[in-house]
Amino acid sequence: MASLQVRVFPHSREEFPSEDSLLTWLLTALRGRGGVYFLRNANSVKDVPPGSIVLFRYGSKIVGEAVVSKGKEVFADKVKDRTLTGEQAEYEAQVTFVPTSIRLYAPALSLDLLQPHLEKDIVKYAGAYTDLDWNIYGIVLQEVVRTGTFIA
């Protein structure tokens, strides 16, 4: 069995024009589709085993998290779906989250607080589906509780 992971999933301004658009999508659309999260490129992220934590990044902030219920599933044929902006896009794989585990950080957590603990710059390495050490997740939780709260 693969070991549990903490992973960062980046989100682009192209697909989510604002941080608020991503936050709304995470709490409504992602939950509404049973936690199914499409990946445009199946090779852009390695498998994330069930029980792993995914942190959602927008720009230089971590805006929320979710727990994986089903790891990466690669499609035999690409799946078409509409983006938030209404454009048609093709997706090669999906990861499914526990819908009730999707929660936002209020306020969002600046990566400046985490960067000293990281080996690479995950803001400049924008496409990174970064794999983090579990102690970093502990720091994330500590900072969220210290500076704000969770929105579920």
Locate the domains of the chain by residue range: 6-151
pTM (two decimals): 0.91
What totals of helices (H) and strands (E) does the chain contain, helices first? 3, 8
pLDDT greater than 60 at residue 128: no
CB under 8 Å to 94, separation ≥6 — which residues?
A: 36, 37, 38, 39, 72, 73, 75, 79
pLDDT greater than 60 at residue 126: no
The pLDDT of residue 2 is: 66
Q: Are 50 and 3 in contact (CB under 8 A)?
A: no
For 38-60, what is the mean pLDDT? 91
Identity of the amino acid at 31: R
Pick the CATH number of 6-151 from 3.10.450, 3.30.70, 3.10.590, 3.40.30: 3.10.590
pLDDT greater than 70 at residue 123: no
Higher-pLDDT residue of 65 and 81 is 65
- CA atoms within a 13 Å half-sphere pointing along the CA-CB vector of 38: 18
pLDDT greater than 70 at residue 48: yes
pLDDT greater than 70 at residue 107: yes
